[in-house]
Chains A and B, each alone.
Chain A
Amino acid sequence: MASLSNKVQDVFSEPGCDKNQAKGEKERKKGCTKQLTPGAAAGGCAFDGAKIALQPITDVAHLVHGPIACEGNGWDNRGAKSSDSLLYRTGFTTDINELDVVYGGEKRLYKSIREILDKYDPPAIFVYQTCVTALIGDDIEAVCKAATAKFGKPIIPVNAPGFVGAKNLGNKLAGEALLDYVIGTEEPETTTPYDINIIGEYNLAGELWQVKPLLDELGIRILSCISGDAKYKEVAYSHRAKAAMMVCSKAMINVARKMEERYGIPFFEGSFYGISDMSESLRQIAKLLVQQGAPEDLLSRTEKVIFREETRAWEAINHYRKRLEGKKVLLITGGVKSWSVVSALQEGGMEIVGTSVKKSTAEDKEKIKELMGEDAHMFDDMRPRDMYAMLKDSRADIMLSGGRSQFVALKVKMPWLDINQERHHAYAGYVGMVELVKRIDQALFHPVWEQVRKPAPWEVSTPSPLMGEGWGEGALSTVAPSPQPSPTRGEGAVVAKAA
């Protein structure tokens, strides 16, 4: 485990991360995330994070070395889309049993690798370490090395067992695995001055494809997306890109920075969420490429595309802006993307009444303050009970969050929109922003709210205007959906029976 703890320390002292650099030596060793409180913790483990970061690589087999829980309880549950191979959605696990725990699971792992190569013939296999197999001392690096030598295919160890930390750390450890074993191991057939990497974009709900047409139009080639809709070889030759964009805030900063260090690929941090962020990202990509030797006209071509797209998007959003102006939004995300979504919502005329910053860096928080003003309501750790109260007291009109907290909103009969990994709709780029605003509009003005908020007629004591017409024609059918409280004797009896 020595190498794993070194790796973790290496990730913790990431020079690209200001937050870590601001800490003292001792504090830094403790890591990025706050110590979890037993009995009051939420969120995924490091293994989960590593899997999220790498699973979007579509043509490889993702093999989880551990007991059934790690893969069996959660496989095929992400919305990362593929334009080609579907192998990444196949669940592979060694599903170790009690004997493996006693005698070690390395042989089972080796055999599993052989079975996968025989049956599915992927260009590579990613092997994920988990808590139990780490605890019993299975050396997955050694097994992968032996298997690579024997079978002649890259077998990549991803050493991020769940108990080393939270999801975010897992993202970074996954990045380390790519840096150590994948990036720089193959060469592209051709290169162009317009080759970029997009790092930390997972193509959830196909969001990469909302952005790609614009890049295509500008002649910019995504040499490698790490890791959305990526093929193994694309990641392997990503070191030949001219510039890189780092998308998901700090999740993969180590990959971006080390690729700059090793291969001289300059990067910037950007976001595809929100109109101005999208434009800024396009500008930055163009700027970096020109800096790296691409023809200068790229800059003006980019501005033209930005102008056209912005005009189009604004027109579309203006249609909704009138209806959404002043609507209060409670934004609960993993934190990393908070600020990019904040600016996106403000473009739609909405007011952010609160946002979670649990996993946000100091820099993220500054950006949020910049956008929302000094008195921005940032919650470090908002309990479901508090979200519930906030919605129930109508201090917010809609909540945007991940799937797990959706019922906090739904149970108070308030609109909710999924903005996390499991979501079904894509919100990136100009079209995505319009889509997000459209979805918020649909959620807010959905007819269901009026119906579910109405109390049952027999629970209301005010006299009904329908009083006395109880037994007219069709009385039976009008009772249930009646919008009016109707506690007349006759109807009351029918309702009681139906209930």
Chain B
Amino acid sequence: MATVTTSHKACTVNPLKMSQPIGAALAFMGLNHCMPTLHGSQGCTSFGLVLFVRHFREMIPMQTTAMNEVTTILGGMDNIEQTIMNIWERAKPDVIGLASTGLTETKGDDVDAYLKLIYKKHPEIADLKVIYVSTPDYQGAFQDGWSKAVVRIVQEFATPCTVKQLDRVNVLPGSHLTPGDLYEIREIIESFGLSPVFIPDVSGSLDGHIPEDFTPTTLGGTTLEQLRTMGAARATIAIGEQMHSAAIELEMKTGVPSTVFDRLTGLEANDKLMQHLSALSGKPVPQKYRRQRSQLQDAMLDAHFFTGGTRIAIGAEPDLLFSLGSMLADMGCEIAAAVTTTHSPILEKLPAEEVLIGDLEDLEARAKDCDLLITHSHGRQMAARLDIPFLRYGVPTFDRLGAAHKVTVGYRGTMEFVFELGNTFLADEHEVTPATWTNSSEASSCVSGGSCNSCQGTTDADHPQVAFS
């Protein structure tokens, strides 16, 4: 439905986008006993680390191959070898997730070959899995890095299994889902008597729990055992278009049938999930979710008075944009401005006229007469300038608590989103005054007339009293 356009500016102003390698690193953070590592200069890791610490408010395990000028030119094999050996000695992880950066991709390091040589040279690390993914900073965006890393995880571990676990379901979640979302999805799937395994599972590692002891690696997530038995599942559920390729890869390698859900926010989207799970398990939809569905219907009815006809400016990565954007449209909002970070087939399906691959400056320019801004925390400056309400969604959310626990999936998560939306408009309601309707006929009659003072007021619906000035 939407036309996808690309910004043609030379200079990106107020970036919406983040880079691929840290998207890959976040995916690796969903593996148990893993050390996500970036093959680049120390700054590549440091910026990503600070970003995740501020978003999750958690200890973030992340390392660097610490490339400098000389090692970059000579090639990073020695650094990768030292990195692997140092991490292996210090942290004893099960997995090292290694993502390349713009720096080492520009040089053209052949990391696959390096790894072969390193394994040959160090037989003692045979049990340590090093998963390498190529993620140059100058291509794609955060969710592409996540998606590529999950494909690599699947390629590395998936094998057909002869012994099947009849209740097992693989779930491939997109990077737009929070640990809270994963908990919600797990609960839904479990209520059908199925046992989900998330690949990767950031709800185990980044949900903000307090562990018993110190671990220098991830504190939870998908285990090696779970990764090796992906082929034993009865089905795979992928959430978000970005997981399409991983789902296909998994199905090709294991024969486990997969289904991709492009979103799990919204009444209809969740109806489809319930249907699917019911068919998979042969069980009826549990009473609890029939009730929740009815609660969501009621919530949508209560909220529709306040959301209908509003104009929204939204900036998010493609899958999050599609999830929230579709729900906004379901609630009668108009997506007046949509900006995203990278190409995706899902963008064309967004119920909006145009989606721009651009930055927050573009969004700000398009958001001039919008009623609400939805984007990550970097929208705070523009929200203040535009003087409109602002809901924070996406990574990074560094100036609000509980980003990891925000839920927008399932009937319950959709209901929370609907309430948050409605409440934002309720809180922003402008009191009417005796002046609200004065001059309105005069003002509208002179729209084409030109330089009458009252015209200034009519363009700004939020401040009708300006009409007097």
Contact = CB atoms under 8 A, between A and B. Distances in A.
A272 interface: no
Contact of B43 (A47, A86, A101): A47
A413 B210 CA distance: 9
A112 interface: yes
A73 B139 CA distance: 14
Contact of A93 (B11, B22, B51, B381): B11
Nearest to A49: B43
A103 B139 CA distance: 15
Interface in A39-55: 39-48
B435 interface: no
Contact of A131 (B14, B41, B54, B139): B41
Interface string B26-58: 000000000001001111111111110110011
Interface stretch (A235-243, A372-380, A384-392, A460-468): A384-392
Interface in A371-408: 383-385, 388-389, 403-404, 406-408
B66 interface: yes
Given A40-B90, A413-B210, A68 B12 contact: yes
A86 B68 contact: no
Size band of the A side of the interface?
35 or more
A69 B22 contact: yes
Given A69-B19, A90-B13, A132-B102, A98 B139 contact: yes
Interface string A69-104: 111111111000000001001111111111011000
B83 interface: yes
Contacts of A165: 68
A149 interface: no
B10 A108 contact: yes
Contacts of B107: 135
Given A39-B86, A112-B10, A69 B64 contact: no
Interface residues of B, number: 65
Given A39-B85, A411-B211, A44 B10 contact: no
A420 to B, nearest CB: 10
Nearest to B7: A95
B343 to A, nearest CB: 12
Nearest to B87: A39
B10 A111 contact: yes
Contacts of B214: 384-385, 388-389, 408, 411
B64 A41 contact: yes
A163 B69 CA distance: 5
Given A36-B42, A38-B66, A39-B63, A69 B102 contact: yes
A157 interface: no
Contact of A37 (B37, B67, B68, B86): B86
B46 A44 contact: yes
A215 interface: no
A74 B13 contact: no
A39 B11 contact: no
B82 A89 contact: no
A75 B14 CA distance: 8
Contacts of A162: 41-44, 103
B13 A92 contact: yes
B118 interface: no
A162 B102 CA distance: 12
Contact of A135 (B103, B136, B139): B103
A403 B106 CA distance: 32
Given A91-B15, A422-B54, 5 more contacts: A39-B90, A73-B22, A75-B14, A388-B214, A404-B49
5 contacts: A39-B82, A89-B381, A101-B106, A101-B138, A132-B138
